[in-house]
A and B are shown apart, each in its own frame.
Chain A
Amino acid sequence: MRKFGVFVAFLLIAFLAVNALYLFALSKVDAEFRKTDESVNFTDESFEILVLGNSTALDGVNTQMLSDSVGTAYNFSLAGSSIESNYIQLEHYLARNNRPEFVLFFLSSCHINYNREYVVNPIIENYYGLWRFELEELPLFKFRWLFIENFKKILSSERRKSSVVAGQLILERSVADGTVFENSSNPNCTTDYQSKGYTFLKHIAQQCADQGIKFLAFEMPCWSRKQNNCDDVYVGFGPDVKFKVVNLNRRDVAGPLLNSRADWLSENHLNYAGSVKLFEAIKAAILEEEESGNFQ
């Protein structure tokens, strides 16, 4: 029995050691791990613009250009982030750093169903102390998708050359958008920002209202088939919390702006060239809202 006990004990120890090693390796090689490690440790920073969102904003919002022409900016977006994940990041940042002037929130309702996908990003859980005592917390399991993502670096020189600048993931890779815009396929424009999936949008807007931060939300563009003709909308969560959602997924905005062959990284995700083009629309929206005095 002793021999078996030693075998099982060593197996468990070795397995835990591999998990620890995997976590350590990710913290050294994975771009999102490194970025989160950097951002969670910000103290007394004075960014003027905070960018929040998921993978579509991680690749598609050009923070460097925002810094150059509007104000110093940092892109907190992570792949697979829910709105709750972004809220956790914002709360953490505001508690340790100087108040920014703007918070720009990038939604992608055309890409994901917020009412279905409602989990905190595991990288956020890792760096913001949200670990639970569960089997699923083993790093090999919790961050399993990152094994494949980082393995792709071995296969692709484009991925090896990728970098993170001011929080934006810069990846020079193009996938053509072969889909076609069909007006009839997007007849209604009734994204319900008051529904359960958007609960933390209210919390973020409330936090910004409480601290006097100008808050503006955007809908990121998707591939042509998922673009629409919906207008920008104002969303209100009570008398003090009201903000605009700028629709960058409008056909007449995204259509002329983006090149279907050159500007996409993957389905519904802009590459760096796309982010450069989209920047103009983002900047125009900020300035317009600023000039009209409509910021909450």
Chain B
Amino acid sequence: MLFNSVEFLLFLPAVFVLYWFVFGKSLRLQNMLLLLASYVFYGWWDWRFLSLIFLSTVVDFITGLRIDAAQQRQTRKIWLTFSMVFNLGLLGFFKYYNFFVGSWIELFSQMGIYMDPWTISIVLPVGISFYTFQTMSYSLDIYYGRLQPTRNFVNFAAFVSFFPQLVAGPIERASNLLPQIEKRRTFSSAKAIEGIEQILWGFFKKVVIADALAGMVSEVYGSHEEYNSLSLIFAAIAFSFQIYGDFSGYSDIAIGTARLFGIDLMSNFNFPYLSRNIGEFWRRWHISLSTWFRDYVYYPLGGSRVRSSVAIRNVFIVFLTSGLWHGANWTFLAWGGIHALLFIPSFVVKSNAKYKADIVSGTKLLPGLVDTLKVALTFSVVTLAWVFFRSESVGSAVGYIKGVFSPTGGRLLAIPNNEIITLVFSFSAFFFFSWIYLYRKNEMIKYGEKAAFLSSLALLILICLFGEFSKQSFIYFQF
């Protein structure tokens, strides 16, 4: 079920009413409802893949209990390995099998050895990268002694499949979400009102910003050799906003929806395009994934508390696996590699941890000149890396970038007047609301229920007037 569908518009109020008004007095029934609703939500897309979630849930539920019960370290390790092999095997089969087999065959064919291209057509189950990472973190946290396993299967299954964040995150940690599912929830009007506003803000970013840009971006990326430098730059910037609107929009809808059920999900985006270096960008972009890799890959490898060369290797491993997590394509690996290369200089001079606490222009109306230049530079290199992320192949991305620096040839992307006016309205509203939320976050403005009411109303109006409703799926569903 898509968030931007009529089905969801009926589904959400129905589950909300049942959750608070019918089953409100029983935590057990509430959790059973959450589980059932989550399976309906996921099964709406393809019910056959519910078996995968169920299997993953059963495996990690049992594994968690076994790790906890095991007295010997060796036994704990065996059960953890079992969980990792199962989850990564699931991911590897459904997501990477064709990629590795195809790449292997191509490598041999370049050496003159031709192999039978035996690959099978595998459909990628929506959200598999998200829920397998979530279940793996559960087993890992128990293994490292950071978490006690739950003995209630329904609660655990509800944690794995919690519908607002099931298919595109945030990738929740059991230590945050599970205690909330196991504890009695009380309804908070203030929280629910914030939830409604956040859902609308998410919808705005998805249908007004991301989907409105999708057509232009596809047109240019689809035949980039036909366009001139200016059009290529425009489309590259447009994609930066498209993917931000699409993915952060989904996260906002997920977080807002969870709030309606009295559950706080972790923040996934924190004004990433206001970052002053790549280190800061990765603390603000897809936070649930970057912290996952930090906690479960980077730190266990030794993090930065090892020799410089090993630390640099660790950085590369994290960025490359993060790239590969996004999809089975060399473009994602290249994207991860570029980010690693951009990150390494500040890592070496130890300035990557700078800007950890504050945000640019956090306490001022506008940022200073130096900060503005830093933000512009970071945005530019992030946009350059997105070219690899969006392109069909590495060769195509290289051709695209060559086109940007080519002074001659190509045509200008024609945008009709009405679309230009729509974009001006949409982006004015986008920047206005972004600054409002930034000021609110930094407590520079008072933001009560009246403000929430006016913002919600304005967002509803903007969604109706400028939203693109051609049922575009979310980009991150494919990961």
Q: Which residues of chain A are near B321, meaning CB under 8 Å?
A: none
- B187 close to A1 (CB less than 8 A): yes
Chain B contacts for A3, CB-based, 8 A = 189-190, 193
Contacts of A138 in B (CB 8 A): 464
| Complex interface residues of chain A between 1 and 34 (CB less than 8 A to chain B) | 1-4, 7-8, 10-11, 14-15, 18
B78 at the interface (CB under 8 A from A): no
Chain A residues positioned under 8 Å from B421 (CB to CB) = 148, 151-152
Chain B residues with CB under 8 A of A18: 457, 461
A140 to B464, CA, bound (A): 6
Inter-subunit contact A7/B193 (CB<8 Å): yes
A147 near B465: Cβ-Cβ < 8 Å: yes
At the interface, yes or no: B20 with Cβ under 8 Å from chain A? Answer: yes
Question: Is A144's CB within 8 Å of the partner chain B?
Answer: yes
Question: Is A7's CB under 8 angstroms from B461's CB?
Answer: no
* Chain A positions within 8 Å of B449 at CB level: 7
* B196 engages A7 (CB within 8 Å): yes
**Contact between chains at A11 and B457 (CB < 8 Å):** yes
Range of interface residues on chain B? 20 to 34
Interface residues of B in 176-225 (CB under 8 A from A): 187, 189-190, 192-193, 196
Is A141 interfacial (CB 8 A cutoff)?
Answer: yes
Contact, CB under 8 Å: B460 / A11 = yes
- In whole angstroms, how far apart are the Cα atoms of A145 and B421 in the complex? 11
Asked if B453 and A11 sit within 8 Å, CB to CB, the answer is yes
With A15-B460, A140-B465, A144-B466: A4-B418 Cβ-Cβ less than 8 Å: no
Output the least CB separation between A69 and chain B (Å).
36
* Interface residues on chain A, size class: 20 to 34
B193 partner residues in chain A, CB cutoff 8 A: 3-4, 7
Hey, what's the 0/1 contact readout for B15-59 against A, CB within 8 Å counting as 1? 000001000000000000000000000000000000000000000
A141 vs B456: C-alpha distance in the bound complex, in angstroms? 17
> Please, how many angstroms separate the alpha-carbon atoms of A140 and B187 in the complex?
33
Which one of A1, A145, A147 lies within 8 Å of B189 (CB-CB)?
Answer: A1
B150 interface residue (CB < 8 Å to A): no
Residues in A whose Cβ lies below 8 Å from that of B465? 140-141, 144, 147
CB-CB contacts below 8 Å: B316-331 with A: none
CA distance A148 to B422 in the complex (A): 7
Q: Chain A: which residue is nearest B187 at the CB level? A: A1
Contact A145 B418 (CB under 8 A): yes
Known: A144-B464, A144-B465. A7 touches B457 (CB 8 A): no
**Residues of A contacting B20 with CB < 8 Å?**
1
Which label, helix, strand, loop or mixed, suits the secondary structure of the A interface? helix
Does any Cβ of B come within 8 Å of A135's Cβ? yes
Knowing A4-B189, A148-B418, A148-B422, the reply to whether A14 touches B466 (Cβ < 8 A) is: no
Residues of chain A within 8 A (CB-CB) of B422 are: 148
Contact A7 B418 (CB under 8 A): no
Most buried by B among A1, A2, A4, A147: A4
The A-contacting residues of B in range 142-193, CB under 8 angstroms, are 187, 189-190, 192-193
Bound-state Cα–Cα, A147 to B464, Å: 11
Name the interface residues of B451-467: CB closer than 8 Å to any CB of A.
Answer: 452-453, 456-457, 460-461, 464-466
Using Cβ atoms and an 8 Å threshold, which residues of chain B touch A4? Answer: 187, 189, 192-193
A5 → chain B, closest Cβ, in Å?
Answer: 8
Which chain A positions have C-beta within 8 A of B466?
144
Q: Do the beta carbons of A135 and B457 come within 8 Å of each other?
A: no
Contact between A8 and B196, CB atoms less than 8 A apart: yes
Chain A residues in 8 Å Cβ range of B464: 138, 140-141, 144
The residues of A that contact B123 with a CB separation of less than 8 Å are none
Say whether chain B's binding surface is mostly helix, strand, loop, or mixed.
helix
Closest to A6 in B: B189
Which A residues are CB-close (under 8 A) to B417?
A: 152
Q: Which of B420-469 contact A (CB under 8 A)?
A: 421-422, 449, 452-453, 456-457, 460-461, 464-466
CB neighbours of A141 from chain B (8 A): 464-465
Q: Which residues of B contact A145 (CB under 8 A)?
A: 418
CA distance A8 to B260 in the complex (A): 12
Q: Is B357 an interface residue (CB 8 A)?
A: no
**Docked complex Cα distance between A140 and B193 (Å):** 23
Q: How far is the CA of A141 from the CA of B190 in the complex (A)?
A: 29
Closest Cβ–Cβ distance, residue A173 to chain B (whole Å): 12
B370: interface (CB < 8 Å): no
Chain A residue contacts of B415, Cβ below 8 A: none
A136: nearest chain-B partner, CB-CB: B469
Which chain A residue lies CB-closest to B20? A1
A10 to B452, CA, bound (A): 12
Q: State whether B189 touches A7 (Cβ < 8 A).
A: yes
Alpha-carbon distance between A144 and B422 when the two chains are bound, in angstroms: 11
Task: Determine the residue in chain A with the shortest Cβ distance to B21.
Answer: A1
Contacts of A104-160 to chain B: CB distance below 8 A:
135, 138, 140-141, 144-145, 147-148, 151-152
What's the Cα separation between A169 and B190 when bound, in Å?
51
Rounded to whole angstroms, the CA-CA distance of A7 and B190 in the bound complex is 10
Contacts of B457 in A (CB 8 A): 11, 14-15, 18
Say how far B99's CB is from chain A's closest CB, in angstroms: 38
| Shortest Cβ distance from residue A296 to the other chain B in the assembled complex, whole angstroms | 40
Q: How far is the CA of A18 from the CA of B417 in the complex (A)?
A: 26
Closest Cβ–Cβ distance, residue A223 to chain B (whole Å): 15
Residues on B with C-beta less than 8 A from A151 are 421
A53 CA to B418 CA, complexed, in Å: 23
Q: Are B196 and A11 in contact (CB under 8 A)?
A: yes
Compute how far the CA of A182 lies from the CA of B466 in the bound complex, rounded to whole angstroms: 38
**A8 contacts across to B, CB distance below 8 A:** 196
How far is the CB of A11 from the nearest CB of chain B, in Å?
A: 6
Is B6 part of the binding interface, using a Cβ–Cβ cutoff of 8 Å?
A: yes
> Cβ of B452: which chain A residues have Cβ within 8 Å of it?
7
Shortest Cβ distance from B460 into A: residue: A15
- Complex Cα–Cα for A190 and B189 (A): 65
Which residue of the partner chain B has the closest CB to A266? B417
Q: Whole-angstrom distance from the CB of A29 to the nearest CB of chain B?
A: 16
Alpha-carbon separation in the docked complex, A104 to B192 (Å): 58
What's the least CB distance linking A80 to chain B, in Å? 13
Q: Which residues of A contact B9 (CB under 8 A)?
A: 135
CA distance A272 to B456 in the complex (A): 44
Closest chain A residue, CB of each to CB of B419: A148
- B6–A135 CB distance below 8 A: yes
Which residues from chain A sit less than 8 Å from chain B, CB to CB? 1-4, 7-8, 10-11, 14-15, 18, 135, 138, 140-141, 144-145, 147-148, 151-152
> Which 6 residue pairs across A and B have the least CB separation, nearest first?
A3-B189, A140-B464, A4-B189, A141-B464, A4-B192, A144-B465
Q: Known contacts A3-B190, A11-B196, A15-B461; can you find 16 more A-B pairs with CB under 8 A?
A: A1-B187, A1-B189, A2-B189, A3-B189, A7-B196, A7-B453, A14-B457, A18-B457, A135-B9, A140-B464, A141-B464, A144-B465, A147-B465, A148-B418, A148-B421, A152-B421
10 A-B pairs in the complex with CB atoms less than 8 angstroms apart: A1-B187, A3-B193, A7-B196, A8-B196, A11-B453, A11-B456, A14-B453, A140-B465, A141-B464, A148-B422
